[in-house]
Structure formats: structure tokens, C-alpha cells
Structure 1
Amino acid sequence: MTSSPRHTPNRRGEGDRLRQDLIAAANRLLEAGASHESLSLRAVAREVGIAATSVYLHFPDKVALLLAVYQEHFAVLARHLEEAVAGHDDPAEQLHAVARAYCRFAEEHADVYQVMFTLPGPIGRVPREITSEERPGLPAILTFQRVISACADAGIAKITDPWPATLCLWGALHGILSLRAARPTLPWPPMDDLIDAIVATHLEGSTGA
């Protein structure tokens, strides 16, 4: 009588290492041109060199894997923004600094930035409230909101609700980054000049100047 094969548990740390390998493989495929629709767990497993069934030990579905990819990238972005803010005490300088840090991250990590915005939100497109854990970009955007609120408290931006102002500023920065990438032959001014114009318009427009 032949006994059935028994699963051998991973050594300590090997499971976490495989999880990181899967995230890295998914990211490589996305950077190489795979879309969130075309990416498959089978392709990710093949990239890592494991059986497709092994992926399910760490990610129940593709959405969970994509979320993990985005969480890592947005966590790095959030740290960059916090470091930029920490270098200044004046709220206006903080706003300029956080805007520059955001755009610098996007330009220095163009492939990563593209991957971060490949999946339409909300993740999974399910008719329910989306948790904070399912919004990997939220900590970065809340940094913007905190700085904009500080500008309002300092009297340099007459904003009654910082959240719409935050979304408008983020949208303007993301729009400029996307347009510069899509139309590189346009005679674009230096990025710092564009950032200063966006921030100045945002603040001065808020105060009625």
C-alpha cells in the first residue's frame, strides 16, 4: 500500500520569501506590458518557476495579488512624501515640497508609477464599502490632505473642505505627469515650474487672489 504524499511545511521565512517573489514577478509582468485583465496567476507562477496551485497558498485570487503589488509601491511613495514634508515647517513650503516629491517619484520610477495606476478602482469592483486596506494610495493622499489643511489653518488657503481640494491638486499633478509622458514633443516648461504654477494657482485661487 502506497501512502499519499504529505505536504512539507515551508522552513521559517520561506513562505514570506515566496510571497515576495510572487509580488515581484507580477510587477515584472505588469512593467513588461501585461494589463490587469491579461495578467494571470498561472503566468505569475511560471515567472517564479512554481506550480500554479502554489500561488493560492498566499493569494486567493488575482485581485489580492494585484493589491499586494500596489500596496508595496504606494507605501514607498507615502514614505517619500512624509520625508519631504518633514523637511519644512512652513505649510506653503510643505505643499511645494510634497508636490515636488510626488512628481519626482513618478519621473524617477516611471514604470512603477504606470503600474500603480493600471487597475481601475475600486479593486474588485464589488458593490460594497471599500476598506482602507483596499485603498493602497490612501496614506499618500492623506499626506496631501494634511498639508492642505495646515495651509487652511495658517490662513493661506480659504478651504472649507480639504478633501475636494486634495483631490483637485492630486488630479492636476497626475494630469501633468500623464500629459508629459503622452506628448513629450510639446515645449513643456521645466517640471518644477509647472509644479510651482499648480501649487500657486491652488493656493491663490483658494484665497481669491
Structure 2
Amino acid sequence: MNTTGRRKQNTRGRGDLLREEILTAGVRMLDELGDDQALSLRAVARAVSVAATSVYLYFPDRDALVLAVTQRCHEDLVAVGDTAEAAYEHHPAAQLRARILAQAEWAQNHPGLYKVLHESGVHRRLGMPFKEVMVERTRTAVQRCMDAGAAPHDDALTVTIDLRTAVNGMLAQRINEPDLPWPPMADQLDRFLTKLVGLRL
């Protein structure tokens, strides 16, 4: 058998490392493609220098890999928001603004992944319950603003959904129509926070 260009088989107990390599390659390739339908497991296998059958051991089909990638991306987004928020302890309005701005900047830095997160049909077929974590984090941040008097009292979940709809729509437009005369992103986000949440920035 010709093994030129193939990596050596992982030793026992190293399978989790190969899975991570495959997942990392999937993240990188989906960010470049911006379309999960354009991804193939064979291409991922080539990127990791393994046989396609090795990929199927961890991800039985493309949807399984796409689902794992989107979960990883949501975990990253939650972590980015948590880190940004932590810099403004005891300042609810600044915490919410920092969270939204950090997550929006992540999306701008990873436009292909952002498109997959919001345009892939995988979540309609398989569901993505992990997305609820980010919604809950934002709802909690909005509720803190209301409790502290930094925003008018309202239904925090409804306000959160309005805010996420505006932010996600803005990001999609910026990614798909980059040549429009866009204002600074922070200024646009501040207008959303002012008009939709009621923050006094």
C-alpha cells in the first residue's frame, strides 16, 4: 500500500487528538468557505492528512461535523462575551455593551463562520440547543441593566430578542454588502442599545 503523504496512525488513547485536529480543520475551512454545503469530509481528511475513513470514525457525515463546528463557535462567542463583560464589574450597562461589542467583533473577524452559524440548514434538522446559552447570557445582562435602573423595566427576554435581531441583521448586512458606507460598528451598536434596551450611554 502506498502511504506517501499519510500520517502515522494515532497510538491508543490519541483518538481524541485526531478528533480535535479534524474539528479545527473544519472550523478553518468553514470560515474560508462561508457555506457548509461546500464542505466535504474528504477535503477535511486531506487537510489533516488522514484517510477519509478516519474522519468518519468521529463524524459520520458532514452535518455532524458542521454541528460540532457551530457548537465550538458558540462556545467561543460565549467565552468572548464573558471575558469582555468581566472587565466592567458592577457596571451593568458597560457589561452589556462590552459583551455585544466583543461578540460583534468576533463575527467580523470570522465572517464565514458567522454565515454558517446563521444560514446553515443543519440547525433546522438537528437542532442546536447550545445556542440557548448565548441567549441566556444576553438576557441576564439585559435584566441586570433593568434591575440597576440603567434601562427601563420591561420583559428582558423580549428586549434581548429584539437586540439580537438587530445586531445579527446588521452583521449579516456588513458581511454581505461590505461596500456600503457603513458607520463605525460601535456607534451603530450604541444606537441599538439606546433605542432597543433604553440604555443611557
TM range (shorter): 0.7 to 0.9
Unaligned runs of 5+ in 1: 1-8
Paired position in structure 1 for 2:152: 157
Q: Which amino acid aligns with 2:60?
A: P
Counterpart mapping for 1:106-185 below 5 A: 106-120=107-121, 122-123=123-124, 125=125, 130=127, 134-155=128-149, 156-160=151-155, 162-185=156-179
Query: For the residues of structure 1 that align with 2:197 and 2:134, how far apart are their CA atoms?
Result: 20
Paired position in structure 1 for 2:194: 200
Q: Which amino acid aligns with 1:181?
A: I
Counterpart mapping for 1:22-171 below 5 A: 22-33=22-33, 35-88=35-88, 89-120=90-121, 122-123=123-124, 125=125, 130=127, 134-155=128-149, 156-160=151-155, 162-171=156-165
Residues 81-136 of structure 1: per-residue CA shift (max 9 Å, x gap): 0112212222222221111111121223334433433423525x16xxx4xxx334
- 1:28, distance to aligned residue in structure 2 (A): 3.2
Aligned partners of 1:67 and 1:136 also within 8 Å: no
Q: Which amino acid aligns with 2:81?
A: L
Aligned partners of 2:66 and 2:122 also within 8 Å: no
Paired position in structure 1 for 2:4: none
Regions of 4+ moved over 4 Å: none
Give the 3 Å change call, closer, same or farther, for CA 178–165 of structure 1 in structure 2: same
Query: For the residues of structure 2 that align with 1:38 and 1:142, how far apart are their CA atoms?
Result: 32
Q: Which amino acid aligns with 1:143?
A: R
Paired position in structure 2 for 1:189: 183
TM-score if structure 2 supplies the norm length? 0.81
Aligned Cα root-mean-square deviation (Å): 2.4
Aligned partners of 1:27 and 1:115 also within 8 Å: no
- 1:174, distance to aligned residue in structure 2 (A): 1.4
Are residue 15 (structure 1) and residue 15 (structure 2) matched?
Answer: yes
Aligned partners of 1:70 and 1:136 also within 8 Å: no
Q: Which amino acid aligns with 1:199?
A: L
Unaligned runs of 5+ in 2: 1-8
- 1:54, distance to aligned residue in structure 2 (A): 1.7
Aligned partners of 2:96 and 2:138 also within 8 Å: yes
TM-score if structure 1 supplies the norm length? 0.78
SS of structure 1 residue aligned to 2:182: coil
Identity %: 36
- 1:141, distance to aligned residue in structure 2 (A): 2.2
Give the 3 Å change call, closer, same or farther, for CA 109–39 of structure 1 in structure 2: closer
